[in-house]
Amino acid sequence: MVRKYLSKIYMGIIFIFLYAPIVVLAVFSFNESKSRGHWTGFSLRWYIELFHDQDIRMAFYYTITIAIITAIVSTILGTIAAIGINAMKGRQKALILNVNYLPVVNPDIVTGISLMILYISFNMDFGFNTMLISHIVFSIPYVILSILPKLKQLDVHMTEAAMDLGATPMYALRKVIIPEIKPGIVTGFLMAFTLSIDDFIISYFTKGEGVTNLSIIIYSMARRGVRPTINALSTIMLTVVLLLMILINKRANGHDKSKKTNRSEV
């Protein structure tokens, strides 16, 4: 019994240590004064100043644009790759899966420097295109890993039955496979979108003149001194990422519950 209470206290301390700074940051983003340790009253002053900042507006535009394009492209490519990998057998499949795991476990700084050297070797101008390609490259493995479990749960005989009934492979793909793995595709899309918004290291090494994102802006602002607008910007980013993660989890849990319900009815 004592051990049980001690473990709960320990977990509580860990969560307080992790999330208390975030809560303080969010609360003081609504503080009327510049003070980060003295509350003087509720105000939206720093949020108003934030959206009047031209650099932040441009960074926000590039962040959202790159995140949306990255999510769409990486989801399409990742879905095609996941279906291909799932159809493989034996050592070939194991080899491709291990290659797909490498960008996930590889440190971001190694990936960022590698992509930077690659662009330099091809004499590419750094800017929107290099950052976009980089985000797509590091997002695809996560999309594949989101879709593969759904493909493994898929009954292989469904596709064969559809083609026996006269469906073409493309029609079976659109009407049988895609609807069954749709939750994984949506999860992969949201994951790619979140990773793109959140990325700093790879973006830092592949950005160009006049093109930046919110994470780099926050880093640059922090180097000049922490301003209350950073609190406001960080709170907005935190809220967006948190909402996306809640949506991902709700979709995953809802799909699992619906499958269990269908099985019980059968």
**pLDDT single digits (tens) 47-96:** 888 888 888 888 888 999 999 999 999 999 999 999 888 888 888 888 88
User: What percent of the chain has pLDDT above 70?
Assistant: 91
User: What percent of the chain has pLDDT above 90?
Assistant: 23
Which band of pLDDT confidence, cut at 50, 70 and 90, is reported for residue 123? very high
User: 206: which residues sit within 8 A by CB, 6+ positions away?
Assistant: 112, 115, 116, 119, 126, 130, 131, 133, 134
In whole angstroms, what is the distance from residue 49 CA to residue 102 CA?
42
The dihedral through the CA atoms of 227, 109, 119, 197 has a sign that is negative
| pLDDT value at 254 more than 70 | no
Identify which has the larger pLDDT, 172 or 137. Answer: 137
What is the per-residue pLDDT across 147-183, written as a single tens digit (0 to 9) for each?
Answer: 998 888 877 777 777 777 777 778 887 788 888 888 8
Confidence at residue 8, expressed as pLDDT on a 0 to 100 scale: 84
- Which amino acid, residue 61? Y
What is the gyration radius of the CA atoms in the chain, in angstroms? Answer: 23
User: 163: which residues sit within 8 A by CB, 6+ positions away?
Assistant: 169, 172
Mean pLDDT of 122-128: 91
Closest alpha carbon to 219 in 239, 250, 236, 198 = 198
Helix axes 90-105, 128-153, angle to 10 degrees: 130
Which band of pLDDT confidence, cut at 50, 70 and 90, is reported for residue 265? low
Please give, one letter per residue, the 3-state secondary structure of the chain.
CHHHHHHHHHHHHHHHHHHHHHHHHHHHCCECCCCCCCCCCECCHHHHHHHCCHHHHHHHHHHHHHHHHHHHHHHHHHHHHHHHHHHCCHHHHHHHHHHHHHHHHCCHHHHHHHHHHHHHHCCCCCCHHHHHHHHHHHHHHHHHHHHHHHHHHCCHHHHHHHHHCCCCHHHHHHHHHHHHCHHHHHHHHHHHHHHHHHCCHHHHHHCCCCCCCHHHHHHHHHHCCCCHHHHHHHHHHHHHHHHHHHHHHHHHHHHHHHHHHHHHHC
Which band of pLDDT confidence, cut at 50, 70 and 90, is reported for residue 259? low
Give me the chain's average pLDDT, please: 83
Confidence at residue 36, expressed as pLDDT on a 0 to 100 scale: 67
In whole angstroms, what is the distance from residue 250 CA to residue 9 CA?
28
In whole angstroms, what is the distance from residue 93 CA to residue 150 CA?
17
Confidence at residue 71, expressed as pLDDT on a 0 to 100 scale: 94
Task: Write the class of the CATH domain 47-265.
Answer: mainly alpha
Please list the residues that pair with 31 across neighbouring strands: 42
In whole angstroms, what is the distance from residue 146 CA to residue 121 CA?
33
In whole angstroms, what is the distance from residue 179 CA to residue 81 CA?
17
Q: Which residue has the tokens 């929107």?
A: 128
